[in-house]
Amino acid sequence: MFLETKELTKNFGGLAAVFQLEMSVREGEIVGLIGPNGAGKTTVFNLITGFLRPSGGRILFDGKDISGKKPHLIAKMGIGRTFQLAYLFPEFTVFENIVTSFNLYPKSSFWEALFKTPSYRRKELYILEQAKEILYLVGLEGVKNVLGRNLPHGYQKLLTMARALAIKPRILLLDEPIAGMSLEEINYAMSVIEKIRSQGVTILLVEHNMRIMTLCDRVIVINFGNKIAEGSMEEVRQNQEVMKAYFGREDAA
């Protein structure tokens, strides 16, 4: 398995936000993680990316245990993420947002950066080239020099994806990538996600808007921090547990 959680548990005081969750993602897949509000989806993301430390259980990435590691080390291993809100560097331009996010390789030392050695300049030029490629991939070249805070919401969301791509992720965790977008923007964002996947990046995404689930190879449904169903969108839709979680009564829908 590429990414796997084993009996993953997170308690907030007496509340178990995630309880003994077992889920897995295969390399090259697009997997959707859905569930009602408060089901623990974002908590799972925060646990995988190291922003929260698990209370119990393990997270395995490519066979290595990554549970409880610092976020920047997890990013270094190739796990990129976006946040539910369009968090970005508001005082940087779009291009600077992406360039700044190239932190992992090629890496320059303190002295190289201080003296701006030829090798430092070479590495930075390489980064600029790579950043331009990402800019074109997500289609933000038109707003390259706009400050992050002045971007419209849809562009901000695209920029957060572009930024996550800068770490050359092997798996990308997208937290509500199309929330708050117009229909047009949703279609465009979905085409970008397709493009990212076609470059060989595995994707795990959380979304309330079911339109995006047409992209997913597989859907995992969680409720109260536990997996209640898994399978294709069609299979999940028929599942009694899922209906109960979403609509409250078994005879609903």
Partner 1 sequence: MVAGEHAPSGGRNWIKTVAYAGLIILLFLLPLFVDSVYYLHTFIITLIYTIAACSLRTILISGQLSIAHAAFMGLGAYVSSIFARELNWTPWLTIPLGGVSAMVVGVLAGYPLTRVRAIYFSMVSLFVGLAIVALMGVFQKYTGGDIGLIGIPPLPSITIPGLPTINFLSSKIPYYYFFLLLTVFCLMILHSLENSRIGMSWKAIAQSYLVASSVGINEAGFRVLALAVGCFFAGIAGAGYAHYNMVLTRSSFGFLSSVNLLIYVLVGGTGSFFGPIIGTTVLVIVPEIFRWLKTFAPFVFGGIMLLVVFFMPQGIAGLFEQVKTKFLHFQERKKPRDVS
Residues 159-188 that bind partner 1 (CB under 8 A): 163-164, 166-167
Helix or strand holding residue 161 (H, E):
helix 153-165
- Quick one: which of 37, 145, 198, 199 contacts partner 1 (CB under 8 A)? 145
Tokens encoding 211: 């339109």
Contact between 53 and partner 1 by CB under 8 A: the answer reads no
Report how far residue 142's alpha carbon sits from residue 150's, in angstroms, rounded to the nearest whole number. 14
CB atoms within 10 A of CB 95: 20
d(CA 72, CA 75): 5
Does 100 sit near partner 1 (CB under 8 A)?
yes
Q: What is the helix, strand, coil percentage profile of the chain, to 5?
A: 40, 25, 35
Question: Which stretch, 30-38, 123-131, 216-224, 242-250, contacts partner 1 (CB under 8 A)?
Answer: 123-131
Torsion of CA 208, 213, 217, 223, to 10 degrees: 30
Q: How far is the CB of 160 from partner 1 (least distance, A)?
A: 8
Shortest Å distance, C-beta 75 to partner 1: 4
**Number of chain positions touching partner 1 (CB under 8 A):** 41
Give the whole-angstrom CA distance, residue 21 versus residue 96: 38
Place of tokens 């509500």: 176
Q: Does 128 bind partner 1 (CB under 8 A)?
A: yes
> Which region among 2-10, 134-142, 158-166, 230-238 touches partner 1 (by CB under 8 A)?
158-166
Residue 81 binds partner 1, judged by CB under 8 A: yes
CA distances from 100 to 70, 130, 135 (A): 19, 12, 13
Query: Is residue 158 part of the contact set for partner 1 (CB under 8 A)?
Result: no
Sole binder of partner 1 in the list 116, 195, 208, 211 (CB under 8 A): 116
Q: Rule CB under 8 A: say whether 99 interacts with partner 1.
A: yes
User: Is 230:220 a contact under the CB 8 Å cutoff?
Assistant: yes
Whole-angstrom distance, CA of residue 15 vs CA of residue 208:
23
Q: Which of 127, 193, 228, 229 binds partner 1 (CB under 8 A)?
A: 127
Question: Could you say whether residue 88 binds partner 1 (CB under 8 A)?
Answer: yes
Which residues make up the interface to partner 1 (CB under 8 A)? Answer: 49, 51, 70-72, 75-76, 80-81, 83, 87-93, 95-96, 99-101, 103-104, 108, 110, 113-116, 120-121, 124-125, 127-128, 145, 163-164, 166-167
